[in-house]
Amino acid sequence: MDLTRDLVEEKAAEYAEEEPLFMVEAQELEGLPSALAAGEYGRRDVEWVIQWFYRRYLGEYPDRSRRDGESAYRENDFEAVRDAIADAIEADNSREAVHALTGLSGVDVAVASAVLQFVDPERFVVLGPHEWAALVEAGALDRPYPDDPDVDDYGTYLDACRSAAERLDCDMVTLQRALWRLSRSR
């Protein structure tokens, strides 16, 4: 597949029209990053991101795993969540940012990437098998999605996304949305 700007724009528009969580996702991407940066957010704001991560799969993600992940996250003390997000915001690189968040219960590398997308959508993008598969098909990644992605896998993925976004002159979220739709239409 040739990943072109026209294709990314087409698939990102399709995402906006077809994905049931798009409206609330767009709304949260508009306000949550500045709220997180200012420390003006509540427990439910971050919990929403965790829920979005799992529920965007619309039943494709095993329900038991989704419930377990969401429940494990809710066990965190809110001050620990605030500290982890503050550390992620201050991190010099993606490795440090991911490590800041994966210290929380229920937050693995993929979930951390979702939080990071809402922390700073210009620097970070959510990691998932759909987006990864589209990048493999486009020749930007050379191996299948790992069973349990680690921080190095996220770095590899993030580098591929940043490179593609720069080459295509689009933002990271637009690219992520297009990759999501590309993998789902194959």
pLDDT in tens, 147-174: 999 999 999 999 999 999 999 999 999 9
Q: What is the dihedral of CA 108, 111, 114, 116, to 10 degrees?
A: -30
Q: Which of 59-63, 81-85, 104-108 has the lowest mean pLDDT?
A: 59-63
DSSP of 66-135: HHHHHHHHHTS-HHHHHHHHHHHHH-SSHHHHHHHHHTSTT--HHHHHHHHHHH-TTT-----HHHHHHH
Q: What is the residue type of 86? A: A
Q: What pLDDT, on a 0 to 100 scale, did the predictor assign at position 107?
A: 97
Express each pLDDT in 68-77 by its tens digit.
Answer: 888 999 999 9
pLDDT, one tens digit per residue, over 33-52 is 999 999 999 999 999 999 99
| pTM > 0.85: yes or no | yes
Count of structural domains, the chain: 1
pLDDT for residue 84: 98
Residue 145 — φ and ψ, nearest 5°? -60, 130
Sequence-separated (6 or more) residues with CB below 8 Å from residue 149: 108, 109, 110, 127, 157
Residue 56: its pLDDT value, please?
86
User: Could you tell me the residue range of the domain that residue 177 belongs to?
Assistant: 5-184
CA dihedral for 69, 71, 77, 78, sign (positive or negative): positive
The predicted pLDDT at position 177 comes to 97
Q: Give the Cα separation of 106 and 85 in Å (integer).
A: 14
